Each structure stands twice: as C-alpha cells, then as structure tokens.
C-alpha cells in the first residue's frame, strides 16, 4: 500500500524559510514521478514542482529561484525547501506520486498523479 505523509508545515513570517518533508512507503523510492502541489483558499489546486525518475524537474514560475525539490533516498523522503516565502505562498501543500514516467511538461498537471498525501498547511503572515 503506497502512502505519502507530509510534515513540516507551519506559520512563518514573509521572507523566512520552511522545509516540507514527504515520507513515502509502499513503493521503491526514486522509481515514481513525484511532485508538490498546493491549494490556496478559494483557488484551484496548482502544481508547485515535480520530479521524475530521470531527475528532470519542472517548477512553477511563481516559485522558481525560491523553492527547491530534492530526494533523500536513504530515508525514502521527498523534500521541498522553501525560501523567501511570500504571503501568497500560503496554502495547503500536498505530496503526490505516480508510477508512470511523466516528462517535464506533465509534471505540474494534477491528472498525472494517482496518489495524494493528506496535505500540510503553510501560512506566511506577518
């Protein structure tokens, strides 16, 4: 049974940093396409960044240069380092995965992912 469990959300001030983790189980880490999505209040869910098994990534324009996705293979954990956070980054962040090998263009499309975590709240406010 594939499971994704996010952690690391919280309340921070604008300009600060936060690290989200997604602990995975039930599949061979590194063989699935994975991504972070977020849903802001009143908005549709949107892709933040995705990574495929080949290591290709695709970042949303709104987070380029501020967010970094990485994988801790020893801990089967997907990580999202978020720097210089802005109030508009406030959202519920979801870790997602799929066994299919998606190319970079598809990495930010929610239809590409069949497995979703429960989400973790990130609030950026002064």
Q: What is the mean pLDDT of residues 103-122?
A: 95
Backbone φ, ψ for residue 110 (5° rounding): -65, -30
Distance CA 114, CA 97 (A): 7
Q: Which of 32, 4, 9 is nearest to 19 (CA)?
A: 9
Q: Which of 84, 87, 90, 69 is nearest to 17 (CA)?
A: 84
Percent of the chain at pLDDT exceeding 70: 100
Task: Share the mean pLDDT of the chain.
Answer: 96
Q: What is the mean pLDDT of residues 95-118?
A: 95
pLDDT at 118: 97
pLDDT at 114: 96
pLDDT at 22: 98
Q: In what order do the strands lie in the sheet with 18-25?
A: 3-7, 18-25, 77-82, 67-72
pLDDT at 18: 98
Q: What is the mean pLDDT of residues 50-54?
A: 95
């Amino acid at each position: 049974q594939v499971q994704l469990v996010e952690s690391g959300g919280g309340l921070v001030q604008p300009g600060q940093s936060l690290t989200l983790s997604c602990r995975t189980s039930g599949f061979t880490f590194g063989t699935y396409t994975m991504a972070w999505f977020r849903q802001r209040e009143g908005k549709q869910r949107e892709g933040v960044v995705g990574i495929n098994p080949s290591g290709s990534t695709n970042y949303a324009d709104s987070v380029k240069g501020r967010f970094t996705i990485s994988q801790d293979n020893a801990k089967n954990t997907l990580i999202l380092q978020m720097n210089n956070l802005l109030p508009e980054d406030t959202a519920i962040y979801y870790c997602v995965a799929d066994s299919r090998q998606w190319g970079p263009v598809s990495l930010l499309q929610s239809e590409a992912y069949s497995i979703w975590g429960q989400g973790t709240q990130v609030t950026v406010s002064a």
